[in-house]
């Protein structure tokens, strides 16, 4: 671990003063190196009090999404597979390059800003600097694409848990991949697969998650203002992005171990938090027929059971998008 990271972790681990001598011994570095790290942290916006004979105490820190910050919440060996970037076109794109070069299972890419964030159906994902968490996670799987078709819904359930572990508020899900607070979309998930055409075997499975954390409502582009929200704008609560990013990684690691056998807890939570059940919805994509439709249930495989209101006919849909009247401004 770099000295700066180590010093920050030592300060974070204690509410009280930590002596420079103790830090230098624990990290196995000189007192001068500790002093230098403290000055660098202060220059980076950390408020650190220094008192003679007592040592250093961390008073506050900026809401940074850096490796040092995230390292305070995760084990050192886990951090070896976490790459933090201040800006990148898209974390999914960066991770697919790393996957091609041989990155291992559980590799994570996080960015403080994306300049070409990707959303579903070829849309973009607005990813301003310092406001959200843009995180991609690599799962190395040898199955066929069909075998992992549920992974986006599993991820939604895992992210509900991760977000709720950092604040007191309830997160809901709009089938299949939008996370909702206060009827606004605060997060989206985009799973991208690369598949070898002959064997149909997955080469890489990349799960990308974008969470709006700190935006005020008026900071979203005008065309998104009726639908988009952030954790801050919808709950008034300030979440430290590094802590939430660490919880996301923990939840994704657990999901990676649980998939596909321990489905029950993901399915239960997903069903419990599904916003659209019982609602009249509108379908878009290939499923669109123009007929009024009702969302009936989430099936065992996370597909959506719908009922055509005119004919009473039911159908299970696996792809596409639904809109619900009144939910983030849908008309
Ligand atoms: C959607 O709601 O349409 C899905 C949005 C997914 C955005 C995330 S941000 C991290 C990762 N990198 C990307 O370019 N997209 C995903």
d(CA 291, CA 226): 25
Q: How high is the pLDDT of residue 75?
A: 94
pLDDT in tens, 179-199: 999 999 999 999 999 998 888
pLDDT in tens, 205-243: 999 999 999 999 999 999 888 899 999 999 999 999 999
By alpha-carbon position, which residue is closest to atom 2 of ligand 1?
Answer: 188
Q: Which two tokens stand for residue 317?
A: 């849909």
Q: How high is the pLDDT of residue 324?
A: 82
Residues 152, 216: contact at Cβ < 8 Å? no
Dist. CA 127 → ligand 1 center (Å): 9
Q: Which residues pair with 47 in a beta bridge?
A: 60
pLDDT in tens, 133-142: 999 999 999 8
**CB atoms closer than 10 angstroms to residue 118:** 20
Dist. CA 34 → ligand 1 center (Å): 39
Q: How high is the pLDDT of residue 292?
A: 84
In ligand 1, which atom is closest to the CA atom of 178?
A: 2
Q: Is the CB of 46 under 6 A from ligand 1?
A: no
Backbone angles phi, psi at 25, to 5 degrees: -65, -45
Q: Is the CB of 90 under 6 A from ligand 1?
A: yes
Backbone angles phi, psi at 251, to 5 degrees: -65, -35
Q: Is the CB of 89 under 6 A from ligand 1?
A: no
Half-sphere exposure of 90 (CA within 13 A, CB side): 19
Dist. CA 118 → ligand 1 center (Å): 5
User: Quick one: which of 18, 89, 79, 68 has its CA closest to 48?
Assistant: 18
Query: Which residue ranges in the chain fall short of pLDDT 70?
Result: 1, 285-290, 325-331
Q: How high is the pLDDT of residue 207?
A: 98
d(CA 302, CA 317): 9
Q: How high is the pLDDT of residue 284?
A: 78
What are the start-end ranges of the E strands in 113-263?
Answer: 132-139, 172-174, 178-181, 184-195, 202-212
Q: Is the CB of 6 under 6 A from ligand 1?
A: no
By alpha-carbon position, which residue is closest to atom 15 of ligand 1?
Answer: 118
User: Quick one: which of 188, 81, 76, 86 has its CA closest to 138?
Assistant: 81
Residues 220, 329: contact at Cβ < 8 Å? no
By alpha-carbon position, which residue is closest to atom 16 of ligand 1?
Answer: 208
Dist. CA 292 → ligand 1 center (Å): 30
Q: How high is the pLDDT of residue 327?
A: 67
pTM above 0.95, yes or no: no
């Amino acid at each position: 671990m770099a000295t700066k990271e180590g010093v920050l972790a030592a300060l974070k681990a204690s509410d009280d003063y930590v002596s420079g001598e103790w830090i230098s011994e624990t990290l196995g570095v000189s007192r001068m190196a500790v002093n230098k790290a403290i000055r660098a942290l202060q220059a980076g916006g950390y408020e650190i009090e220094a008192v003679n004979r007592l040592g250093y105490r961390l008073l506050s820190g900026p809401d940074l999404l850096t490796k040092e910050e995230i390292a305070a919440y995760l084990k050192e060996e886990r951090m070896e597979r976490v790459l933090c970037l201040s800006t990148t076109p898209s974390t999914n794109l960066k991770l697919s390059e790393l996957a091609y070069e041989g990155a291992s299972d559980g590799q994570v890419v996080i960015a403080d800003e994306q300049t070409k964030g990707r959303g579903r159906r070829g849309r973009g994902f607005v990813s301003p600097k310092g406001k959200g968490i843009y995180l991609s996670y690599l799962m190395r799987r040898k199955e066929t694409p069909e075998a992992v078709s549920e992974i986006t819904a599993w991820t939604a359930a895992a992210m509900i848990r991760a977000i709720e572990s950092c604040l007191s508020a309830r997160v809901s899900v709009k089938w299949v991949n939008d996370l909702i607070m206060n009827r606004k979309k605060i997060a989206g998930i985009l799973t991208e697969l690369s598949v070898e055409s002959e064997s149909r075997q997955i080469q890489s499975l990349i799960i990308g998650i974008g969470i709006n954390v700190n935006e005020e409502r008026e900071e979203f582009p005008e065309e998104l203002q009726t639908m988009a929200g952030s954790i801050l704008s919808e709950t008034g609560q300030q979440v430290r992005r590094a802590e939430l990013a660490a919880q996301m990684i923990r939840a994704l690691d657990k999901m990676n171990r649980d998939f596909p056998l321990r489905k029950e807890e993901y399915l239960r939570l997903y069903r419990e938090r599904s916003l659209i059940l019982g609602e009249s919805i509108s379908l878009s994509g290939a499923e669109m027929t123009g007929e009024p439709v009702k969302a009936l249930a989430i099936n065992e495989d996370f597909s959506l059971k719908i009922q055509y209101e005119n004919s009473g006919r039911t159908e299970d849909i696996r792809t596409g998008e639904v809109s619900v009247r009144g939910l983030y401004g849908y008309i």
